[in-house]
Amino acid sequence: MTVEQSKETRVRGQALVDQVKHLIHEGNVRRVIIKNDKGHTVIEIPVTAGVVAAIAAPVVTAIGAIAALASEWSIEVERREEPPSTGETP
């Protein structure tokens, strides 16, 4: 069983592109949501291991284009985490 965790980070300009590139290549990221400075979702990227290579280039290009539109962006990241082990065997 996996547990989902969500974390939000604020970034500007090129840092947005760099952060998304890094997140796409992580193995435990489930979804990346980019919001503008007013909190409205601009793009939502579902990340699965099988399509990382196929979506990385066009997504990063699109994010590079939108990075110049606002001064501050918010990146919300949903991750898959394994629950802590209890040490018991079923």
pLDDT at residue number 35: 92
CA distance 88 to 78: 28
pLDDT tens digits in sequence order for the chain, 90 residues long:
555 678 888 988 888 888 888 887 777 788 889 998 889 998 888 877 555 566 677 777 888 888 877 778 899 998 877 655 565 555
Q: Is 77 exposed, middle or buried (0-12, 13-18, 19+ CB in 10 A)?
A: buried
CB 29 within 8 Å of CB 77? yes
Q: What is the identity of the amino acid at 87?
A: G
Task: Note the pTM of the prediction, 2 decimals.
Answer: 0.72
